[in-house]
Amino acid sequence: MRSRLIALFCVLSWVSSYLAQPDSTDKKLFESFGSDFKWGAACAAYQVEGAWSLDGKGPSVWDDFTHRRGKVKTKENGDQGTDFYHRYNEDILLVKKLGLDAFRFSISWSRIFPEGTGKINPEGVEFYHKVLDACQEAGVEPWVTLYHWDLPLALEKKGGWANREIVQAFEAFVRFCATEYGTKITHWMVMNEPAAFVGLGYLAGIHAPGKISIRTFLKASHHVCLSLAVGGRALKEVLPQAMIGTTFSCSTVQSVKQSKRNDKAVKRMDALLNRLYIEPSLGMGYPSEDLPILKRLKRYMLPGDSAKLSFSFDFIGLQNYFRVLVRSNRLVPVVGATRIRPEKLGLPVNEMGFEVYPEGMLSILRQFSEYPIDNFYITENGVCVNDQVTENAIHDGDRIQFFRDYLSRVAQAKKEGIPINGYFVWSLTDNFEWNEGFRPRFGLVHVDYSTMKRTIKDSGWWFKALLAD
């Protein structure tokens, strides 16, 4: 029996290695994007840095959240992350080794301002200078996200994003970073996925800070939308020649069964997930016609706020992972819809139970192309799969097939004239996946969490071969 299992494992490893070899179709796919298309990989401060309390860093909401019992499925936390704080040189060289042009990372607000405002932490400031200098030495372009969910805990204790004072605090943080690092960064992203950190953190309570309140969610949503525009203007004022963008999570929303009630539920869910945070920045206001609860936002708006919400970003980053299937359910607050789990319908899913649906990428790109935006990047796209770990290699043929399928839809969108100018893999390395812990692995590079050893997976070698060509 043992010999049969070994033989089967060898066959599976051979199949995976075979799938990792780019073929002529892969090469044509990559060639179709053109030589000026930007290729990169991404990560986020809390998920990789570790060093959560070293060198003067203050605690963030995620430090607090993951230290609470029952908040992370695996009972883990990001205290050590992938030790990027000490291994940033190694990881940046991996970006270069894979043939990628750019490295997207975020700045930890509480590493710069331990209390969110006021006193500056010089060790934290110097750390990001070191990261940026390492990028320059490696010939890798840094793309920096200013806020990727790790709000300083001191600000959350004052109400966090639900406290209007945070708009001013965020602007100060943005201006400091722009002034301090502006000569080393040409591409900035103000925030990462506001629909995720506001919805999951202030409405559903499954992400930091773990609150469940419609009122708090609405207040936070408005202050985040104000901060998006305020942050964009601050960056542009300090760095008029820089490219200023922001990123939005986006998912094709569809009904499991056609009906008038379900169609209205789709519109409500689409407004919540895809429209709530981008449309104010485009001067369109809040989509309250399709999501009526947003009419309550008027309670939290001051005179002049409508004009302050608008800012013309130089680019928009779209981040797509899965489709959302819904049916009407008036008992569910805010959206009046229930999300249907794809595995119940026999649909393919990743390790986190999210549907793998490549056509959704094309659909969402078409949807967002209807906005007056002339410069898109895919700033996150990837999948967690069950990697096959051997002594000398990490086989992940399913991840390679995922990239083949999704990139083919990106190429189709580009062919249709949608202005997509780059693609960032999520993620460079395996990392701490928020409330899911370390179990889901998204990386092109495998991390052994006991030793922190990095090993390039087949998918990483696949990208390297194609980008080298």
Q: What is the pLDDT of residue 3?
A: 46
195 found inside a domain? yes
Q: What is the pLDDT of residue 19?
A: 53
- Using DSSP's 3-state secondary structure scheme, residue 167 falls into helix
Chain centroid to CA 399? 18
19 found inside a domain? no
- Rounded to whole angstroms, the Cα distance separating 58 from 70 reads 23
Segments in the chain below pLDDT 70: 1-19
135 found inside a domain? yes
Q: What is the pLDDT of residue 8?
A: 42
436 found inside a domain? yes
- Rounded to whole angstroms, the Cα distance separating 281 from 334 reads 22
Strand boundaries in 54-196, DSSP class E: 102-106, 141-147, 187-192
Residues spanned by the domain of 197: 37-251+271-315+351-468
- Rounded to whole angstroms, the Cα distance separating 151 from 42 reads 19
- Rounded to whole angstroms, the Cα distance separating 253 from 256 reads 10
Number of domains in the chain: 1
Is the CB of residue 180 less than 8 Å from the CB of residue 130? no
Q: What is the pLDDT of residue 21?
A: 84
Q: What is the pLDDT of residue 262?
A: 97
What are the residue numbers of the active site?
193, 380
- Rounded to whole angstroms, the Cα distance separating 304 from 201 reads 27
419 found inside a domain? yes
- Rounded to whole angstroms, the Cα distance separating 270 from 336 reads 12
Backbone φ and ψ for 253, nearest 5 degrees, come out as -110, 125
Q: What is the pLDDT of residue 408?
A: 98
32 found inside a domain? no
Compute the half-sphere exposure of residue 83: CA atoms within 13 Å on the CB side of its CA.
11
42 found inside a domain? yes
Compute the half-sphere exposure of residue 299: CA atoms within 13 Å on the CB side of its CA.
13
CATH number at residue 295: 3.20.20.80
Is the CB of residue 145 less than 8 Å from the CB of residue 247? yes
- Rounded to whole angstroms, the Cα distance separating 257 from 270 reads 16
- Rounded to whole angstroms, the Cα distance separating 156 from 371 reads 33
Q: Which DSSP category does 162 fall into?
A: G
Q: Which H helix or E strand runs over 394?
A: strand 394-395
174 found inside a domain? yes
